[in-house]
Structure 1
Amino acid sequence: MPFIVPGRELAELEERVQKALATTDDRDLEILGYGEVTLVLRLETRDGAFACKRLPLFHDRRRFENYRRTLEEYLKRLAEQRLCVAETQLWHMTLPTGSVVAYCVQQALPVKRLCSTLLHTEGEAWAAAFFTRFLDSLDRVVTPGLGLDAQASNWIDLDGELTYLDVTTPMMRDARGRERLDVRLFFTSLPWALRDVVRLSMSKAIFDKFYERRGVVLDFLGNLHKERLDHLVPMFLRQANARLPEPITKEEVAAYYRGDARMWEIIQRLRRADRFWHRTIRRRTYPFLLPPVVQR
């Protein structure tokens, strides 16, 4: 049965976010995690706890509605491919400026069941069984028109069922290979003068890999280095290469991780520079909460 989105509490949460942006003090927020471009907050209510992923600001209603339709179609297509996805609802409010702030809302799930956690706490037998289920999911879902950002932290194991969590970047392409998502939205935290340059130069490197199984596996294995789980790479390579037409090597995984880490480090440095410009030079509120420096 669908859960009821706690609208009043979400509006109050957004007020706390706005206060944190204005004061640069986020101690009144319970931050579950930082994505590369979004923020996940925990919201406690009388009706339970929720994980609320705050999306980049939509500058008008039209862009929000386009995103809403894209997200709904993505969820529908994943379900058609028999991928179990955590129930996700989209909540929004219109600001006095006409801009729209939105959150993807899910019921809070036990953190100890996140697959990135279980890969630390369970043995190799569990890890091997998990990775088999992971590869089965890719076989069903990933096509040139339908993609997945499938790193370990985006999955949770609930009662033996592998469930996908992160749908906030709907990955679908049309027949000409163009993103259905308005990718400009996810570069709005970069300095204005650099947004188009970075988008045009990096979008392909960021998104292409998610639309073919080998690329998704390579990204998953590369991110194990960030999770300090690289000892599992050899075992997972044996499992993956038994299915892939072109095998992946351990050296390729390490090189991929170094390149991906450099790319995101550059993006985050640009964002921190833009925050400095807003706060120190322009004396204005910077409209994003940035993660601390990530040790990659």
Structure 2
Amino acid sequence: MTHTWDPDRYLAYADERGRPFVDLITRIGAADPATVVDLGCGPGNLTALLAERWPDAAVSGVDSSAEMITAARASGAAATFEVGDVRDWGLDTPSPSGSGYSTGGEDGVDVLVSNATLQWLPDHLELLPRLVAQVRPGGWLAFQVPGNFDEPSHTLRTELAAESPYADHTAGAAVPSSYDAATYLRALQELGCDVDAWETTYLHVLHGKDPVFTWVSGTGARPTLQALPDALRPRFEAEFKRRLRDAYPDHGHGVVLPFRRIFVVARVPAGPTSGGPA
């Protein structure tokens, strides 16, 4: 089931969504990369930070959403942007095999970043060898994924979507998921990478009417909402908002949204190894 993204809704909490990206890229040790790629770049506001950190690099962003790429191209970021699927993206390099992998060699990228994107790919753990293979020996792969899928912001949506009359429409909607930091660390270590993996729980203080709904309707809940017919969506949204208000009350200082994030920064080895995918 396909869905589309709304750059304006996504940017409603741009500062809060941007904090993990900044925390991620500060741990990348690349001094003077020639090529930097942002996979799942969204509206390009964060890709611009890559261009600012490495002004001499050729920075590019890739996203599967045409709406996001249109916004990115209009953002003024010193980068190029193209529509593309993370699963299909890559330079023309040999595919990884069970007995090891082949790096992109001198044609690979120096820094490959993916921020809050891989959680939408159920097989993204198996995708890691292919991503490593696109990085030049000695280069960097860095990504961040949400790790809060057991929180009410997600479980309430899942529970409500499974109820009648919604279940018939939402059964095929995309649902994000991720692994813990240790799983990513082991998978990349077996590919020969030096890995720094950690997690952080942010306490976002949100204001406005139904702010948690505004947050999730721009990301995790969006496929579910779009799967519903127009006649049912307002009813679903009203009940979802009610349950979110009960789970995230405002005690007069704003609504606190705990948000756990998983971070991984991997240094690709200087040459092929015998390691295989996890």
What TM-score range do you get, normalising by the shorter chain? Answer: under 0.3
User: What is the TM-score when the length of structure 1 is the normalising length?
Assistant: 0.26
Structure with the largest fraction of helix: 1
Say which structure, 1 or 2, has more relative contact order (CA 8 Å, 6+ apart): 2
User: What is the TM-score when the length of structure 2 is the normalising length?
Assistant: 0.27
